[in-house]
């Protein structure tokens, strides 16, 4: 406290001394004339008063206050009370200014704080929302992972169960569902025909006899095709002709009536199919002929269809050899009529079928005298494969020779049947028989002439 009081008193004494003893400023005289002494003193007093006012104004800091009330008397000295009043007013102004500044600063701080708080709140809410969404996605992923694991475990368990079930089935007796027999086909046909109006010539038993080898789906398809044919024809009832049309369509394929064939192609097809029909008619063990046609059906230009007379449970070697001969009939007929250089590719499917059948007889059925009664595995040795191939070629050549000799004997029948096919395009089994019976061996000339006349009447 004492030190502070000493400093304040020294400041006051220095200010008073400054006001009481103004500085003496000496101006140099003009170079040619020296001013009078009275003029120098008056100018000095004016300058002193002005400098005192400037110093007082600099101390007080308010030029307006200094101008409103003189700070110095006639001698240029300011009074102490005036200085105190001015200083106290200035301090009060400074306090007010400081208070106002403090208030404004506080207001600015409060507004900035509120803005920051709002921004922080908004950002906090956004972050919380993002965290909630991430949490939901994480829960979904966790659930999916759990479900996938459970599914994998279930699939593994199911695979194990299936493997065990398959092994159990292998241990058990195999269940074979064969094609229906005559009675089964008749019952299936009666089931599919019971809700359809039928004509008097429809007999399910007759249809069942002519559909040997058909399964349930084939019989259902037969009835549907016949019903569509009846609707197209505008018939009120389902007839036997429409059912026969449906059977031919299933066995032989759809007719291609719009396909154009040249006369040469028709002639070649007629002799080709006549060769098949004559071999099937004159070979013991062959299936009866169902129809012969040169009307293009499916991918074939013509065909001869055969149907077994009864349900077959097993096939003999004679029947298999008869099938080989029938397959060779078309190619041999082309060679006899048109020559070796004019045979066509029409017999490619016949040769493929014959080769597969001969290979089956040799390797699976043991019907070769050279190979013996053995069943050859799928991948035999090279030596065994060579022997099998040689035996297959031998069987095919023997069948070719048998058919060639047969058609040489029945060349007239070959011409007759080919001409009938060129004229009528399609012949059923009865019509084929009436044409070929007169040329069968062992018949008398009178019987042949009568049979020829009957055949002409039937064809007419």
Q: What confidence tens digit (pLDDT) does each residue in 202-217 have?
A: 888 888 888 888 888 9
- Residues 240-265 as b or e (16 or more Cβ within 10 Å = b): bbbbbbbbbbbbbeebeeeeebeeeb
Residue 273 sits in the same domain as residue 229 = no
Residue 233 sits in the same domain as residue 279 = no
Residue 236 sits in the same domain as residue 326 = no
Q: How confident is the model at residue 50 (pLDDT cuts 50, 70, 90)?
A: low
Number of domains present in the structure of the chain = 3
**What is the arithmetic mean of pLDDT over 348-371?**
89
Residue 279 sits in the same domain as residue 427 = yes
What per-residue confidence (pLDDT) applies to 172? 64
Pair 196, 227: CB distance under 8 Å: yes
Pair 327, 350: CB distance under 8 Å: yes
Whether 450 has a pLDDT exceeding 50, the answer reads: no
Residue 286 sits in the same domain as residue 416 = yes
Residue 345 sits in the same domain as residue 277 = yes
Residue 229 sits in the same domain as residue 280 = no
Residue 407 sits in the same domain as residue 341 = yes
Q: What confidence tens digit (pLDDT) does each residue in 235-260 have?
A: 888 888 888 888 888 887 777 777 77
Q: How confident is the model at residue 405 (pLDDT cuts 50, 70, 90)?
A: very high
Does residue 86 lie within any of the structural domains?
A: no
Q: Which of 295-299, 380-384, 392-396 has the lowest mean pLDDT?
A: 295-299
Strand partners, 105: none
Residue with more model confidence, 76 or 388:
388
Pair 203, 244: CB distance under 8 Å: no
- Domain housing 213: 182-252
For the chain, give the percent of residues with pLDDT over 90. Answer: 14
- Residues 80-114 as b or e (16 or more Cβ within 10 Å = b): eebbeebeeeeeeeeeeeeeeeeeeeeeeeeeeee
Q: What confidence tens digit (pLDDT) does each residue in 143-156 have?
A: 888 887 777 777 77
Does residue 103 lie within any of the structural domains?
A: no
Active-site residue 255, yes or no?
A: no
Active-site choice (173, 244, 263, 273):
273
């Amino acid at each position: 406290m004492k030190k502070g009081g000493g400093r304040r008193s020294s400041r006051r004494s220095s200010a008073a001394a400054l006001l009481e003893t103004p500085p003496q400023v000496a101006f140099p005289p003009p170079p040619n004339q020296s001013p009078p002494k009275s003029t120098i003193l008056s100018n000095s007093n004016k300058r002193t008063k002005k400098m005192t006012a400037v110093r007082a104004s600099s101390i007080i800091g308010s030029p307006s206050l200094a101008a409103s009330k003189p700070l110095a008397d006639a001698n240029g000295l300011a009074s102490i009370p005036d200085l105190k009043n001015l200083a106290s007013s200035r301090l009060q102004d400074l306090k007010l200014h400081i208070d106002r500044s403090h208030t404004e600063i506080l207001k600015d701080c409060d507004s900035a704080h509120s803005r920051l708080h709002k921004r922080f709140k908004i950002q906090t809410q956004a972050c919380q929302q993002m965290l909630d969404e991430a949490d939901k996605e994480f829960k979904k992923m966790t659930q999916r992972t759990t479900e996938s694991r459970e599914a994998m475990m279930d699939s593994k368990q199911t695979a194990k169960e299936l493997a065990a079930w398959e092994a159990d089935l292998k241990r058990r007796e195999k269940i074979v569902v064969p094609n229906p027999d005559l009675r089964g086909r008749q019952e299936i046909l009666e089931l599919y025909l019971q809700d359809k109006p039928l004509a008097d010539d429809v007999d399910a038993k007759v249809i069942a006899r002519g559909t040997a080898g058909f399964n349930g789906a084939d019989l259902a398809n037969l009835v549907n095709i016949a019903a569509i044919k009846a609707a197209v024809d505008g018939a009120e009832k389902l007839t036997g002709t429409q059912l026969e049309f449906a059977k031919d369509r299933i066995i032989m394929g759809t007719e291609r009536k719009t396909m154009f064939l040249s006369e040469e192609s028709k002639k070649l097809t007629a002799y080709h199919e006549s060769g098949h029909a004559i071999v099937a008619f004159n070979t013991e063990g062959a299936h009866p002929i169902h129809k012969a046609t040169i009307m293009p059906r499916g991918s074939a230009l013509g065909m001869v269809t055969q149907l077994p007379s009864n349900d077959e449970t097993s096939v003999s070697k004679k029947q298999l050899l008869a099938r080989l001969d029938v397959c060779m009939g078309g190619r041999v007929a082309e060679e006899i009529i048109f020559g070796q250089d004019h045979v066509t590719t029409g017999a490619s499917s016949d040769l493929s079928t014959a080769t597969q059948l001969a290979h089956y007889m040799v390797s699976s059925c043991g019907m070769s005298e050279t190979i013996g009664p053995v069943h050859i595995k799928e991948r035999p040795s090279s030596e065994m494969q060579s022997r099998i191939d040689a035996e297959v070629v031998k069987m095919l050549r023997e069948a070719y020779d048998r058919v060639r000799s047969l058609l040489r004997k029945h060349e007239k029948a070959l011409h007759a049947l080919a001409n009938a096919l060129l004229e009528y395009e399609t012949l059923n089994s009865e019509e084929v028989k009436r044409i070929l019976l007169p040329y069968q061996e062992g018949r008398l000339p009178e019987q042949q002439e009568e049979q020829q006349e009957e055949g002409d009447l039937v064809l007419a």
